[in-house]
Amino acid sequence: INIKSKSALATVSAIIDGTGSIGAAVGPAIAGYVEGFGWGLGFNEYKTLYKQRKAKQNNNVSMDQIQHNLDDIRRRVSEAVARRAEARGGGEKSVKLVAASKTQPPEKIVEAYRCGQRVFGENYIQELCAKSADPLIVAECPHIEWRLIGHIQTNKINQLLRVDRLTAVETIDSPKLAQSLEKALSVRNRTLEVMVQINSGDEDVKTGCHFTEAEALARLIRADCPHLKLTGLMTVGRFGHDWSAGPNPDFLAFVGNHRSICEGLAISESSLELSFGMTADFEEAIGLGSDEVRVGTALFGE
């Protein structure tokens, strides 16, 4: 079996989709070859991703529904931008929509692409690597743009940089990570857009640097990492906020920190974008100044 060829995904998938005894017997024998994909996936990791894919396929959203959902999201984004422009006296730019495609099967991604969506965000490097090499996506989505919107470990950087059409990493949260990514990119003589991720709610369960560390990290990237193009700041606000009680305090703090960082770096606020807002709160986030929203459930379903 030429496990390194483009038929690798189908080959391994067929094995995993067989009986448990076949998977158990063959799995250890091919585990090393799965590593040879260049994805850095062990057999169990691939098996987990594949099961997620199969589960999603069983509840697939039709092409018409994807189109309807995407049209609705775009309408809501446009209306939120218009309200913000009216409140601020005009001059508002468009907001980027990132389709958060974590755990979604390639078929849904292709459907969204066919409906005009081009930018997709993935949370897990293994899943991003698998999807970016998926034969269906490669064939049907030639102009797709991938953004990493989940946590990244320094030992996964080389694996990440093998992803074709990777355009940005939105989760830089430490000097070590920034410097490690810079080193890997310099060897390849390429640049990559990045954002500094801030833990705006100071929650232990979420990644991101503290507000007090963000300016120094942004300064380091701009001064010492020529292969990193700092384009903005990113955060995930506290879940379950009751907007009837007022704006999410995490978002308010994030916007305020953005202002102070730009002042400290002596740059215009418009030169450092803000990425915040997801399915439950992207309209409110736009109202507070978000330049990019990451929407998954509203587009793909659960």
Task: Please give, one letter per residue, the 3-state secondary structure of 116-139.
Answer: CCCEEEECCHHHHHHHHCCHHHHH
Give the strand pairing for 145-148 and 96-100: unpaired
Residues 220 and 278 in one domain: yes
pLDDT at 90: 79
Is 211 contained in some domain? Answer: yes
Give the DSSP per-residue string, 60-80. Answer: PPPHHHHHHHHHHHHHHHHHH
pLDDT at 60: 53
Question: What backbone torsions phi and psi does residue 234 show, to the nearest 5 degrees?
Answer: -135, 145
Give 11's contacts (C-beta < 8 A, 6+ positions apart): 1, 3
| Placement of tokens 């009751």 in the chain | 242
CATH code for position 288: 3.20.20.10
Parent domain of 14: 8-55
Is 1 contained in some domain? Answer: no
Under 8 Å between Cβ of 169 and 232? no
Under 8 Å between Cβ of 141 and 165? no
Per residue of the chain (302 residues), what is the pLDDT tens digit?
333 443 444 444 444 444 343 344 344 333 333 333 333 444 445 444 544 554 444 445 677 899 999 999 999 999 999 999 999 987 778 999 999 999 999 999 999 999 999 999 999 999 999 999 999 999 999 999 999 999 999 999 999 999 999 999 999 999 999 999 999 999 999 999 999 999 987 767 688 999 999 999 999 999 999 999 999 999 998 888 888 889 999 999 999 999 999 999 999 999 999 999 999 999 999 999 999 999 999 999 98
Residues 49 and 140 in one domain: no
Residues 131 and 186 in one domain: yes
Residues 164 and 255 in one domain: yes
Burial readout 229-252 (b: 16 or more C-beta within 10 A, e: otherwise): ebbbbbbbbeeebeeeeebbebbe
What tokens were used for 23? 């998977």
Residues 13 and 80 in one domain: no
State the pTM of this model.
Answer: 0.81
Is 2 contained in some domain? Answer: no
3-state secondary structure of 44: helix
Residues 31 and 134 in one domain: no
**Burial zone of 151 (CB within 10 Å; 0-12 exposed, 13-18 middle, 19+ buried):** middle
Residues written for the chain? 302
Cα separation values, 95 from 7, 14, 99, Å: 38, 41, 13
> Whole-angstrom distance between the N-terminal and C-terminal Cα of the chain?
36
Residues 160 and 185 in one domain: yes
CA-based torsion, 268, 273, 277, 283: positive or negative: positive
Question: Structurally, how many domains does the chain consist of?
Answer: 2
Under 8 Å between Cβ of 121 and 98? yes
